[in-house]
């Protein structure tokens, strides 16, 4: 677990101000994996007995951390969609116990903090209003707007941005990575998204082979497998595809699917601009509730039906 080069200055700044570190920190940005890695590494560094710019991975504290049994570290990582009030009650009890190492901090890490409900938010707020001594509470989120304003007002906010295109290219060169043409474009040229989600590419290519058929796309070729990464993911894929169709229609250019440029040029010859705009609006509507408990297969069929309407 390492700090990405584009987050190194942020890391250095936090450690330089370690003695004045806010008791609560919210790490936010689009890359959930980067947030989690950053906050976990910071937790281990602060707990490490060597007290250097990174964990020593040799002391007793680092050993405990590596086997997920550090007595002064508490992590909330619910598999459910909501962080329950019971978890925050456990957190409160954790802070009521004395530190295992005298003078060393106790640290709580709450992942996916956007999943607080009203009750658990208020329970955490009570802890933040009277923060325990020599303790830190770290929260990560990819949607900071979903966190209670009163919680945000009591925490330092640390943005962890995605890399620029130049930073992505430099990282690829530094790591000697081999990336197929078009794969990085699908992830908006973000090397972190590519590294985190490159296992999606086989399914992406499978779906695109069907979408390239245009009016000849057969509903029988639409598989439940298309939902392997969730309905929001599928909507996002269709949005990227429709965006490139629109870009091809208007300017003979593509962004996410450069390898399909010739095929797209052929498809858009029979598509009216207004129909593309209608599809774009429909996809936005579906995405608004895609994360909710809806019939995913029914909505997948609806998306495909709306796509086929382009070629009527």
DSSP assignment string, 126-145: HHHHSPPTTEEEEEEES-GG
The pLDDT, as a whole number, for residue 132 is 87
Find all residues with CB under 8 Å of 90, minimum gap 6, and list them: 74
- Is the pLDDT score of 80 beyond 80? no
Which tens digit of pLDDT belongs to each residue from 37-78? Answer: 999 999 999 999 998 999 999 999 999 999 999 999 999 987
CATH number at residue 68: 3.40.50.300
Does residue 187 sit within a domain? no
Which three-class secondary structure state does DSSP give residue 107? strand
* 91 and 85 Cβ atoms separated by less than 8 Å: no
Asked if 154 and 205 sit in the same domain, the reply is no
Total count of domains within the chain: 2
Asked if 140 and 24 sit in the same domain, the reply is yes
Domain boundary among 110, 128, 159: 159
- Residue 79 — very low, low, confident or very high, per pLDDT cuts 50/70/90? low
DSSP assignment string, 3-61: --GGGHHHHHHHHHTGGG--SEEEEESS-HHHHHHHHHHHHHHHH-TT-SSS--S-SHH
Does residue 62 sit within a domain? yes
CA triple 105-111-114, angle to 5 deg: 125
- Residue 239's φ and ψ, nearest 5 degrees, are -65, -40
Which tens digit of pLDDT belongs to each residue from 158-195? Answer: 999 999 889 999 999 999 999 998 999 999 888 988 99
Does residue 38 sit within a domain? yes
Asked if 130 and 71 sit in the same domain, the reply is yes
Q: Which pTM does this prediction carry? A: 0.80
Q: What is the CA radius of gyration of the chain?
A: 23
Does residue 45 sit within a domain? yes
Which tens digit of pLDDT belongs to each residue from 182-240? Answer: 999 999 888 988 998 999 999 999 999 999 999 999 988 999 999 999 999 999 999 99
* 26 and 145 Cβ atoms separated by less than 8 Å: no
Asked if 155 and 204 sit in the same domain, the reply is no
CATH number at residue 245: 1.20.272
- Residue 42's φ and ψ, nearest 5 degrees, are -65, -40
Asked if 22 and 145 sit in the same domain, the reply is yes
Asked if 141 and 214 sit in the same domain, the reply is no
Asked if 17 and 140 sit in the same domain, the reply is yes
- Domain of residue 62 covers 5-159
- Residue 290 — very low, low, confident or very high, per pLDDT cuts 50/70/90? confident
Asked if 144 and 22 sit in the same domain, the reply is yes
Does residue 215 sit within a domain? yes
The pLDDT, as a whole number, for residue 233 is 95
């Amino acid at each position: 677990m390492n700090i990405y080069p584009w987050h190194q200055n942020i890391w250095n700044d936090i450690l330089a101000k370690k003695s004045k570190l806010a008791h609560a920190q919210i790490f936010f940005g689009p890359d959930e994996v980067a947030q989690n890695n950053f906050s976990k590494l910071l937790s281990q560094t602060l707990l490490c007995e060597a007290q250097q710019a990174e964990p020593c991975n040799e002391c007793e504290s680092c050993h405990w951390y590596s086997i997920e049994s550090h007595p002064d570290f508490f992590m909330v990582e619910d598999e459910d969609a909501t962080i329950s009030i019971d978890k925050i009650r456990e957190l409160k009890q954790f802070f009521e116990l004395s530190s295992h190492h005298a003078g060393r901090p106790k640290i709580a890490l709450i992942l996916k903090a956007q999943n607080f409900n009203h009750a658990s938010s208020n329970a955490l707020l009570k802890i933040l209003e009277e923060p325990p001594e020599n303790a830190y509470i770290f929260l990560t989120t990819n949607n900071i707007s979903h966190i209670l304003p009163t919680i945000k007002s009591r925490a330092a906010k640390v943005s962890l941005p995605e890399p620029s295109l130049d930073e992505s290219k430099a990282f690829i060169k530094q790591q000697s990575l081999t990336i197929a043409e078009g794969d990085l474009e699908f992830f908006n040229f973000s090397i972190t998204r590519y590294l985190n989600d490159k296992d999606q590419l086989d399914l992406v290519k499978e779906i695109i082979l069907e979408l390239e058929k245009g009016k000849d796309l057969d509903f029988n070729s639409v598989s439940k497998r298309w939902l392997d990464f969730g309905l929001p993911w599928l909507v996002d894929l269709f949005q990227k595809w429709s965006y490139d169709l629109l870009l091809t229609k208007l300017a003979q250019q593509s962004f996410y699917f450069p390898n399909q440029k010739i095929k797209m040029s052929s498809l858009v010859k029979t598509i009216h601009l207004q129909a593309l705009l209608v599809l774009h609006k429909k996809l936005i509507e579906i995405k608004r509730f895609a994360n909710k408990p809806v019939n995913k297969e029914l909505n997948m069929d609806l998306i495909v039906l709306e796509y086929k309407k382009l070629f009527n």
